[in-house]
Structure 1
Amino acid sequence: MNKSVKRKNYHVGNLEPQLIDQAKKMLEEVGPDKLSIRAISEQVGVSATAVYHHFANKDELLSHLAAQGFAQLESVLGQCQQGIDKKNKMQVISRQYMLFAFEHPAMYQLMFGSQLAHSEMNPTLSTARKNAYAVVEQCVADVLEKDIQSKEVRSAALAAWSFAHGLASLMIHNVFELPEHISKDAVIEKALLGFNQLVKAHLDFE
């Protein structure tokens, strides 16, 4: 990592986006545990003190990053199901959820990891998290053709989120080793097929 970036003048109004952008880049390089205010400030070309004008501490910066991650996830999940038949929606949204996790592993681990577990919940992060989950709830409501506030939708949405999150986490952390002839994509497709069949069975039963 280049530490020879020269310090430069900055405008308070545009420094924060630069810090966030640099933090996101470094997050995927070093992970949330090793991300530091000092390293970010050096790459942007300002003092660490300047960073603290925008973020009280590392936890606050991480909260902002996680909020952006959930906002991006919300967008991805919302767009992927447009124009999709209702019986295939859960399979599509689950696949996109996992693809997001695989494409942004460090961000994903930050969003659901322990780094922010003991810090005060940032209202922006809380809202972003709820908004992302609401997309899943609405998808389930569409599939089941039930009110989004119903018990059936709430239970099914939790099951769907847990399924996608669990499989994504197992894959990211390499919890189990796949035989050479079996690809990660094949495992995902098989798992999604099974999950989709459960959804269809429920619809047929209804």
Structure 2
Amino acid sequence: MASTQKNKVNPKDKVSYHHGDLYSSLLKIATKMLNEQGINSLSLRKIAENVGVSRTAAYHHFKDKNDLLCAIAAQGFNQWQKHAEKIFTDDSLSKEQQYRDFVYGYIHFATNNPNLYDLMFGRTIWKDHGSNETLRHAAFPSFDFQVKMTKHWQQMALLPSSESSLRLAQVIWGTLHGIAKLMIDGIYTDNSSVDEMCECAVNLFLSTAQSSSHS
């Protein structure tokens, strides 16, 4: 009985829906369960029960659990890209502040949504070709946008122009991903340490660009 209760979503949190938006309702509840209880809490049966529909109805929208996980992860990539675009198009910010906000924004997105972040970049859906078209159509453009930002910042002499935009974007992402995972996995729990690492990452790439321009 205790385990059944643990996987229940509060009735107040159930999503009302009309014909045509059951997909969104299922996805919203699934994301909430992932964030609060982890990936092991997810099953189409439990999600359908919490929304208030039959399991058969859920299977009309997601063919299996992997399909559901890919949809949740895709939503995460879309959410992050919207945040990155907001930073990138904010003309009130200097280019340096844009880059700094991008770095801090990435880390905060990851640490505020640890279960979602782990799903987005974990082996659960990427290993053994588990990703589907829905996920790839969200994940790849998200990284392409980061390459676009990197190229622009290189043109503004903010980042080293001597490096490939693609490789530099990958190195920056790898650096931020590493910091995020250190925090999510509990290696670092002091927020001030994470902020100092973020600032170090910002200064490292900016100083590299300045050194390159003076050489």
TM-score range, shorter chain: 0.7 to 0.9
Q: Does 1:156 align with 2:203?
A: no
Identity among equivalent positions (%) equals 31
TM-score (structure 2 length as normaliser): 0.81
- CA separation of 1:64 and 1:160: change in aligned 2, threshold 3 A: same
Matches within 5 A, 1:90-129: 90-116=99-125, 117-129=127-139
Once superposed, which parts of structure 1, at least 4 consecutive aligned residues long, lie more than 6 Å away?
Answer: none
| Deviations, residues 137-157 of structure 1 (Å, cap 9, x unaligned) | 1221122118xxx95211211
2:59 to 47, 52, 62: 52
Q: Does 1:130 align with 2:140?
A: yes
Question: Structure 1 counterpart of 2:109, which letter?
Answer: F
- CA separation of 1:169 and 1:32: change in aligned 2, threshold 3 A: same
- What is the match of residue 14 of structure 2? none
Question: Residues of 2 paired with 1:198 and 1:11: CA distance?
Answer: 51
- CA separation of 1:4 and 1:27: change in aligned 2, threshold 3 A: closer
Structure 1 gap ranges (5+)? none
Contact 1:89 1:139 in 2 (8 A): no
- Higher RCO by CA contacts (8 Å cutoff, separation 6 or greater): 1
Question: Residues of 1 paired with 2:98 and 2:169: CA distance?
Answer: 12
**TM-aligned CA deviation for residue 162 of structure 1:** 0.7
Question: Residues of 1 paired with 2:54 and 2:103: CA distance?
Answer: 42
- What is the match of residue 201 of structure 2? 195
**TM-aligned CA deviation for residue 3 of structure 1:** 7.9
- CA separation of 1:55 and 1:198: change in aligned 2, threshold 3 A: same
Question: Structure 2 counterpart of 1:140, which letter?
Answer: T
Structure 2 gap ranges (5+)? 12-16, 157-161
Aligned residues, how many? Answer: 193
Contact 1:33 1:115 in 2 (8 A): no
Q: Does 1:16 align with 2:23?
A: yes
